[in-house]
Structure 1
Amino acid sequence: MTIGCALTFDFDAMSVWVGSYKARNPSMVSRGEFCAVAIPRILDLLAKYKIPGTFCVPGHTALAYPDLIKRIHAEGHEIAHHGWVHENPADFDEAGERRNMELGLEALQKAAGVRPKGYRSPSWDFSANTIKILLDYGFSYDSSLMGGDFIPYYARMGDKYDDKTPYVFGVNVDLVELPITWLLDDFPHFEFVDKDTYGLSAASKVEEIWKDEFDYARLHAPGGLFNLTMHPQVIGRGYRMMMLERLINHYRSFPDVKFTTLIDYVESWRAKNPLAAWRDSGAIQAQPKFQRQMA
């Protein structure tokens, strides 16, 4: 039984500084411009090993760098929705969140003629309306939540919780969740943002973590997905690219590993794990036996 290995890249460019960090300082915003240097490096590396990638792109980035978005698409990689300007969905009412969704979709369509089936929330934040909105817009999967590690599950809608009553689980809906973790994200390990993130780690530290997490997934989560999140403006620095290439060679050294885009993995997994069977199993988010079938 194989395990999927997804190399995903959040192509935030300037949007993360303008949207998430509310920066108006030209120096801070210019950090995002390094993506224009990093994206060709990343695409060349993926082409060298014939690996498909998933690029999560805010609409703001798609309009700033349409030629790079076209190249990503032309080289066969998946493009997923990543908000409008890397905004936190919880900062908006439902109408505002829907408008940001539409702006992102319109920008990706304009830049590369794509209508993504996958979504990754900026900074992995959700509002109470996000899952309903994703269903309304016909998304097949999300990759923003942290209720698992290597085994997908169907997202839930309608959870109820406060600090006085027991947690109430909602109902699983037709949206496959590909869980993520900050542990497998390059930003907190490597980036430096004063009063926020103090990374600048040696590659050896991160390489050890990403290698051991992968090895554990391969041994203990057959049919699962190793979902690695990277940012071009972070991973694209020289010593980190060298680390990524070493990791790729480690991952590809095993015959039971399949590099995949998120959408290709989801379509295979969904066919083997239909929502009706999931609900009939009594699962909420846990891992019923049929869930461990190969994706």
Structure 2
Amino acid sequence: MTLLGGDDPVFSWPDGIRAAASFTFDVDAESCVLAHDPGAAKRMSLMSHQSYGPLVAVPKILSILARQDIRATFFVPGFTAECHPDVVQAIVDGGHEIGHHGYLHEQMQGIDRETEARYLDRGLEALHRVAGVVPVGYRAPWWEMNYQTPGLLVERGFRYDSSLLDGDAPYRFAVEPGSAESLIEIPVDWALDDWEQYAFYPGWTGSGVIESPSKAREMWQLEADAQHAQGGCWVLTNHPFISGRPSRAHALEQLIEGVKALDGMWVTTLEEIAEHAANVTKVVRTHTRYEVPTFPDAPILQDGTPVGGASRARETATLG
């Protein structure tokens, strides 16, 4: 089926497929807390909150996926793999995809190229050492891509990313303006992330409002229905320490059943979706990079940031 209203007018799904869906899990465990605040290592209760993911939730989720006979994509920080090697091996043994998710779920915003390369390489080494995995997919910690990230990924053999939020279906994009090298992007959406529905721990994260699993399931099913209707790609992001709690895990299995029931919905890993997209995408997008404009007499802040304006400098999209 040809995608309705997509960026690429010739993008199509395999014969008999109307749309695609993927259940993805970011196995952050203790890593995201420690990256945010290393002092949290002394907070026994907080660390136990995170450990629930690999110790209890991942086995539960693997059982659900086995019952439902679907394969999923698990994005695993290198530190998580080192701390919980048996859990990572169980994911691999279950036939699921392992993707790269940083080493310590590092803060990515504004880091330099050399630092980011070190994070990538350390995570790659850990996944390979622990489980023999060489991932082809990447999801940036906090979904925070830098403009240098795509080039670093291509240099290391990655074939797709799932961190950006600017599409309803997979697309191909140039790693740099004018570059012949490209990646497949499988977009995500904050509305399809369990963190926004359930995440809470005093003094660390969340608003204190923990939503009902039935509300989250209804919202996610509506998104799946809409993507199915337009021939798009629905990607759900879950964190085991959040969505593996009993009532949420039950709602997740109900959601899987609902998404599977959609006629012609291809439920699979991001790797398989990316492989298909790589074979059919013709348009290569170049992302706009914005410059902050100034008036001639505008003051400059101490960090070098200019003040004022709201225009942009657009780079021309290239067609492949």
TM-score (norm 2): 0.79
- Residue 153 of structure 1 is matched in structure 2 by 171
Shift of the alpha carbon at 1:91?
5.1
2:208 is equivalent to residue 191 of structure 1: no
Question: What whole-Å deviation, never above 9, does each CA across 1:161-213 have from its counterpart, x for those lacking one?
Answer: xxxxxxxxx76841011111111000111011446422410112111210110
Report if aligned partners of 2:176, 2:286 keep a CA contact under 8 Å in 1. no
Q: Secondary structure at the match of 1:128?
A: coil
The answer for unaligned runs of 5 or more in structure 2 is 2-16, 288-320
Cα distance between partner residues in 1 of 2:176 and 2:90: 39
Question: What whole-Å deviation, never above 9, does each CA across 1:85-119 have from its counterpart, x for those lacking one?
Answer: 00022353221111111110011001110100000
User: After superposition, where does 1:1-295 map in structure 2 within 5 Å?
Assistant: 1=1, 2=17, 3-22=19-38, 23-24=40-41, 25-35=43-53, 36-90=55-109, 92-148=111-167, 150-158=168-176, 173-194=181-202, 196-198=205-207, 199-220=209-230, 222=231, 224-273=232-281, 277-279=282-284, 284=286
State, as a whole percentage, how many aligned pairs show the same letter. 36
Does 20-29 or 71-80 show the bigger shift?
A: 20-29
- Corresponding letter in the other structure for 2:64: L
The answer for unaligned runs of 5 or more in structure 1 is 160-169, 286-295
Report if aligned partners of 1:43, 1:72 keep a CA contact under 8 Å in 2. yes
The 1:244/1:144 distance shift into structure 2, 3 A limit, reads same
Report if aligned partners of 1:60, 1:107 keep a CA contact under 8 Å in 2. yes
Report if aligned partners of 2:46, 2:201 keep a CA contact under 8 Å in 1. no
- Residue 166 of structure 1 is matched in structure 2 by none
CA RMSD of aligned residues (A): 2.2
Shift of the alpha carbon at 1:128?
3.2
Report if aligned partners of 1:155, 1:172 keep a CA contact under 8 Å in 2. no
Report if aligned partners of 2:171, 2:184 keep a CA contact under 8 Å in 1. yes
Answer 1 or 2: which has greater helix percent.
Answer: 1
- Residue 289 of structure 1 is matched in structure 2 by none
The structure number with the bigger radius of gyration is 2
Q: Secondary structure at the match of 1:228?
A: strand
Does 251-260 or 89-98 show the bigger shift?
A: 89-98
Cα distance between partner residues in 1 of 2:107 and 2:271: 23
Cα distance between partner residues in 1 of 2:111 and 2:46: 25
Cα distance between partner residues in 2 of 1:137 and 1:227: 24
TM-score (norm 1): 0.85
The 1:155/1:194 distance shift into structure 2, 3 A limit, reads farther
Report if aligned partners of 1:79, 1:114 keep a CA contact under 8 Å in 2. yes
The 1:91/1:64 distance shift into structure 2, 3 A limit, reads farther
Does 244-253 or 51-60 show the bigger shift?
A: 244-253
- Corresponding letter in the other structure for 1:16: C
Q: Secondary structure at the match of 2:283?
A: helix
Shift of the alpha carbon at 1:13?
0.6
